[in-house]
Amino acid sequence: MVRTIRLDDPLWAAASRARRDDWRATIVDLLDDGGLGQTNHHELRVGLEGADVWLRLQGEGTTEALTIPSDALAGLIGEYLHVIQRMQDADVSESSSKMRALDMAKKVVHDSGARVIANAAPSVGTTHETYRRLFTLVLSVAVDVTALPSAGAHRRHVFSSVE
């Protein structure tokens, strides 16, 4: 299983402190999940080539290179950004039914993103939840969500008393 996740050096070097902190939080979530890679994989490298996100699973003497094409994620990324923008709107309170609906919409986008990544990179994860978390990382590599006016909604989760 993957024990280390590294972002491409030029990507990391060009990032703001806020973006690096966001990546760190996402990486911790992914590593805590424990569902990345197969038995022989120990490291995941992530970067950008043009607008495509690439993944490199590394193991003992092996490297598996995978690409998630930007066109496969473009619609989902646009939808996700639209949802978090609406979550940040001043007229939506944290406890409103509208906020809960927007949080659900964000979860639906994560589910769709997880399926797209699972199809593009089937050997990277072992569970749907792992792919959901990987979508968060892929999204934040593809788009600097910390630079958006709605950045606060990116990590916001609405919890209801009904599970």
pLDDT of residue 74 exceeding 80, the answer is yes
pTM of the model: 0.87
Closest CA to 158 of 92, 102, 112: 102
Contact 44, 37 (CB under 8 A): yes
Average pLDDT over residues 2-17: 95
pLDDT digits (tens, 9 = 90+) for 110-161: 999 999 999 999 989 999 999 999 999 999 999 998 887 755 555 544 433 3
Question: What pLDDT sits at residue 158?
Answer: 40
Domain-by-domain residue ranges, the chain?
A: 4-153
Q: pLDDT above 90 covers what percent of the chain?
A: 61
